C-alpha cells in the first residue's frame, strides 16, 4: 500500500480541511479510524472534535497483508477469509474455494492472530497455492 498519499500526524483544524484532505484514515481517540466512521458521527460532534484538535490524519492500518487470514464481521455472522489484495479503503478477500474475492471494508475485518495453526486450507482456490510456491 502506498503510504505517501497520507500525511502522518497532520492536525485537522477545520471542516474544510477535513473535507479537502485526501487521507481516508485518521487518528481519533488514540485509534486509527476510517473517514466513513468519522463522517457518520453527528455533525456537531465531528465539528467539536475538529475544533479541539482531536483528529489527525494517519496511515491506513498496517495490520493487514496479502495472504493473511481474517475474521469478517457480517451482521450476526462471522466468516473466515484470506486477503487476496489490498486497496486504500478495503481488501479483496476470499471467503470460499473459488478464485474470486469480495471487497471488504477494513473496519469489518479483524486479524486472526493464531493463523499459524492453519496448516492447509482451500480458501481462494489455487490463488494462494500457486503464489506460495
Average of per-residue pLDDT across 24-50: 76
What pTM value is reported for the model?
A: 0.54
Structurally, the chain folds into a number of domains equal to 2
C-alpha cell at 118: 492453519
Average of per-residue pLDDT across 3-32: 68
Average of per-residue pLDDT across 104-129: 83
Residue 114 domain boundaries: 69-131
Residue 111: which CATH number? 2.30.30
Hey, which bits of 12-130 come out as E strands? 25-28, 31-34, 55-57, 69-74, 77-86, 90-94, 102-105, 109-111
Question: Given this model, what pLDDT does residue 21 score?
Answer: 77
Given phi > 0 = left and psi -120 to 50 = alpha, else beta, which region is 15? Answer: alpha
Instruction: Give me the residues paired with residue 25 across strands.
Output: 34
Most confident among 28-37, 55-64, 84-93, 123-132 (mean pLDDT): 84-93
pLDDT band, very low/low/confident/very high, at 49 (cuts 50, 70, 90): confident
3-state secondary structure of 79: strand
Asked whether residue 63 is assigned to any structural domain, the reply reads: no
Amino acid at each position: 500500500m502506498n503510504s505517501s498519499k497520507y500525511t502522518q500526524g497532520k492536525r485537522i483544524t477545520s471542516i474544510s480541511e477535513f473535507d479537502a484532505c485526501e487521507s481516508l484514515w485518521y487518528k481519533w481517540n488514540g485509534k486509527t479510524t476510517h473517514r466513513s466512521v468519522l463522517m457518520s458521527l453527528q455533525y456537531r460532534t465531528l465539528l467539536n472534535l475538529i475544533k479541539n484538535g482531536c483528529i489527525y490524519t494517519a496511515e491506513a492500518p498496517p495490520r493487514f497483508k496479502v495472504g493473511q487470514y481474517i475474521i469478517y464481521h457480517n451482521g450476526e455472522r462471522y466468516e473466515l477469509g484470506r486477503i487476496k489484495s489490498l486497496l486504500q479503503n478495503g481488501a479483496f478477500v476470499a471467503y470460499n474455494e473459488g478464485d474470486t474475492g469480495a471487497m471488504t471494508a477494513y473496519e469489518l475485518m479483524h486479524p486472526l492472530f493464531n493463523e499459524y495453526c492453519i496448516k492447509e486450507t482451500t480458501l481462494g482456490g489455487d490463488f494462494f497455492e500457486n503464489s506460495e510456491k
